[in-house]
Chain A
């Protein structure tokens, strides 16, 4: 089975712009979660989608949004980028548990200048 794929792998944007990141889960997985990783805050949960519905959301401002399509692929969007949004954004997919193991993609490294 192919693993989780994320595109693009690297992205450079300037403050105020918006960005869309894409994630394709492992075939058959219906849950997709997003995480932000920074040196200062570590790994933080953004949101989780299951069958096109957001089931859970972390403590991030409304500038961070996401969606999931009928084929389970997911996108996350960050509007009005700030310098602090520079991070590694990781997507993970999960099948039906237990265990509810999440398998991660390679990540998208976003740099905001």
Chain B
């Protein structure tokens, strides 16, 4: 079974600043995927970034990067140059080997201050 822990229920960041959202995971699968999703108040889950457990380099997608530390079992999301539109809930999730089932953390509510 997989478990995701997000220890920051809420965070504030100044517009144009960078912010790091924490995520630690626990899994017994040798192969797994790590995902970050954004959920605005509208409810839709928006895929942001993916990291495979065997990927050597940290994933990046535009202003999003994933700081993957396998030994520490952490997969922190870094958002650079925060924008007002980044205010939302952010969820870290994982899938196990051969499974499409996502296990989510409880999320972090990010508020960007102008």
Contact = CB atoms under 8 A, between A and B. Distances in A.
Interface of A: 31, 33, 35, 42-43, 45, 48, 50, 55-56, 58, 88, 90, 92, 94, 98-107, 109
B101 interface: yes
Contacts of A94: 100
A92 B45 contact: yes
Most interface-central of B37, B42, B44, B101 (chain A CB within 10 A)? B101
The 5 closest A-B pairs by CB, nearest first: A104-B45, A43-B104, A106-B44, A99-B50, A107-B43
A33 B100 contact: yes
B100 A100 contact: yes
Interface string B82-114: 000000000101010001111111110000000
Interface of B: 33, 35, 37, 42-47, 50, 52, 91, 93, 95, 99-107
Contacts of B91: 43
Given A42-B106, A100-B95, A109-B43, 9 more contacts: A42-B104, A58-B101, A88-B43, A99-B50, A100-B100, A102-B35, A102-B102, A104-B46, A106-B44
Given A99-B50, A102-B47, A103-B47, A56 B104 contact: no
Contacts of B105: 42
Contacts of A104: 37, 44-47
